[in-house]
Amino acid sequence: HVQLVESGGGLVQPGGSLRLSCAASGYTYSSYCMGWFRQAPGKEREGVAAIDSSNGRTNYATSVKGRFTVSQENAGNTLYLQMNSLKPEDTGIYFCAVVRPRYCSEYLRSLQAPDFTDWGQGTQVTVS
């Protein structure tokens, strides 16, 4: 049973920084992708950043490229999202996700959540 627990959200002024963390457990995949999604009020959930655990390759949404950095530690059990130069449009609930190996390469390319993605409960980020 995959369990993902996000933390680190909060209220920050425009131009500020936040670091989100996601503690992951319960999966046995030998290789997988992890990533961050966000959902703003009244909008659909969108992919923000993804990382391939087997080789460290990353991909970012155009809107966050150059400002956000995704990384992993603890043998891939902890996922981070460093968010700098935050803007009001970055406001939303941020979700951590684990993507199963067979969907990894397509997810890394498109940032779209495939079937059977495992999700955390989300953490609120407000930029105001």
112-128 confidence digits (pLDDT tens):
998 888 899 999 999 99
CA dihedral over 8, 30, 32, 109, signed as positive or negative: positive
Q: Residue 35 forms beta bridges with which residues?
A: 50, 97
74-118 confidence digits (pLDDT tens):
777 899 999 999 999 999 999 999 998 899 999 999 999 988 888
9-63 confidence digits (pLDDT tens):
999 999 999 999 999 988 776 678 999 999 999 999 999 999 998 899 999 999 9
Contact 20, 97 (CB under 8 A): no
